[in-house]
Amino acid sequence: MDAMGEHGMYVGSGWDVARLSESEKAFWIALWDAPIPDALHDSGADSVRFGSVRALLVTAQRHDRGINCVLGAGEPGTVTQGHLADAVSLMETRCFHMEDERGVDYRVPVVPGLAESAAAEKWLAERGYLCTDGAAKLIRDGSAPSFVEPDGIEVLDWDSWDDGFGGPLAESLGLARMGETFFACLLGDEDWRCYCGIVGDDPLAYVAMHVHEDVASIALASRPYSGRDGEGQLAVLHRCIEDARAVGCNSFILVDAGGEAPIGDRESLLRAGFEVAYRVPSWRSPARVTA
């Protein structure tokens, strides 16, 4: 992999990591903003902004680091203006109803090469946070699909196929069961494009794509189907790429919740022109590691 340069530019590839990271953050914020209030009644779901940093949490799922996270660490003001400190303070002290136990287990991904990435990692390390390698980012440029769209697979919009849409995506990302509630509430939002690839009545693959400032962030999930391995993913990815290009997108990024994509999905993404670009270290609170 190439080296990271100044201002989040990925040297040798031309990737604007800062812009890609901002798009992925926008995906998660928009996902948190999607559910109708009744859908998450009494779950403790919250999205709190501290400057460029965003704390996302669901206190009813306090042990799930996929769904509880601090995003934007490394962006301007993260350390110098105290935004990271404020965000982790919230994560450590928020309680669920009147229970005595406070705080949630959470992750703090730090995208390399941003304005305050080094300062954020230093701040976390000094406070005993545990650093793991995190997920490798899969990204793609905005070129037309170079692969053939598989025959015999119908790709339907969300409003034509909403049966069980949220569950596979939440599972693929490694989110707790409650995670499917977020995906189930995306209908009608113009920033989202959601598709399902089917053969007859059998779903093969699902995708949720969020468009933010010419970057398309996607979540992908698949279901096994005899004789069509990988074809469902390629069908929905072909649709994603064409539709994103039609609205002016020039980059794609696969979102993650701290873990790697399933092997089958990863292989399909590579066939669709995505490439492994850089790895995002993820940090965990020492209070939660020893709990």
Structure tokens at 11: 């040297």
| pLDDT score, position 12 | 39
Residue 275 pLDDT > 60: yes
Task: Tell me the whole-structure pTM to 2 decimals.
Answer: 0.90
Q: Please determine, looking at this structure, whether the domain spanning 140-279 carries the CATH number 3.40.50.300.
A: no
Residue 161 pLDDT > 50: yes
Measure the CA–CA gap between 120 and 131, rounded to whole angstroms. Answer: 12
Q: Answer yes or no: are the C-beta atoms of 114 and 289 closer than 8 Å.
A: no
Quick one: three-class SS letters along 178-218? CHHHHHCCCCCCCCEEEEEEEECCEEEEEEEEEEECCEEEE
Task: Name which of 15-29, 96-110, 195-209 the model is least confident about.
Answer: 96-110
Measure the CA–CA gap between 264 and 242, rounded to whole angstroms. Answer: 22
Ordered by start, the domain boundaries in the chain are: 6-136+280-289, 140-279
Measure the CA–CA gap between 57 and 95, rounded to whole angstroms. Answer: 11
| pLDDT score, position 251 | 96
Taking residue 272's Cβ as centre, other Cβ atoms within 10 Å add up to 22
| pLDDT score, position 290 | 57
| pLDDT score, position 4 | 45
Q: Percentage of the chain surpassing pLDDT 70?
A: 86
Q: How far apart are the first and last CA of the chain?
A: 36
Of residues 123, 148, 120, 115, the one with CA closest to residue 235: 148
Q: What is the mean pLDDT of the chain?
A: 86
Task: Name which of 101-105, 130-134, 168-172, 265-269 the model is least confident about.
Answer: 101-105
Q: Answer yes or no: are the C-beta atoms of 57 and 44 closer than 8 Å.
A: yes
Measure the CA–CA gap between 155 and 198, rounded to whole angstroms. Answer: 6
